[in-house]
Amino acid sequence: MAATFVQEHERAVGRWHAEWGTLAKIISLAGGALKHCGDLFERLEIDTTRMRENIGLTLGLVFAESVAVALAAKMGKPEADRLVKLACQRAQEKGCHLQQVLAWDSIVAGILDATALNRVFNASHALGRANEFIDRVLELSRRANERGAEQ
């Protein structure tokens, strides 16, 4: 497929037919992957308690990007990334939670107070618009199933 990217003139006669076999294979593999995903999701069991335990095992490092984004709004991305990277290293060295290390940092404290830090480290706030997207997909699926039942 990569070899066919460059075309003589807006998909002129030439190499485009070389894509057919590969494209058919890609479509077939994608269809198979979707079928297996459907099988997996039918049996998926969500253990929220275990999920929270797993997040806790990371010493808060899974929230590093969220912290960097919150800090970047006030100090710029490069400086925020550097500060968070150092804080992550300290958390790992000391074996303590990233939130605690950040709370000790005077630069961070000047930007994010305890309430703001708590919000960044709250897993339920980390979802962003995910629930909105999930609801949209479920609604589209419901409509498609209704149309399929009508036919």
Query: DSSP states of 50-72 as a string?
Result: HHHHHHHHTTTGGGHHHHHHHHH
Count of domains forming the chain: 2
- pLDDT for residue 5: 64
- pLDDT for residue 9: 60
- pLDDT for residue 52: 87
Question: Hey, what amino acid is at 125?
Answer: H
Residues 81 and 134 both lie in one domain: yes
Where in the sequence is the domain holding 25, given as residue range(s)? 1-45
Residue 131: how many CA atoms within 13 Å on its side-chain side?
Answer: 5
Residues 69 and 134 both lie in one domain: yes
pTM equals: 0.61
66 found inside a domain: yes
Residues 72 and 35 both lie in one domain: no
All residue ranges of the chain with pLDDT < 70 are 1-16
Residues 76 and 136 both lie in one domain: yes
- pLDDT for residue 110: 93
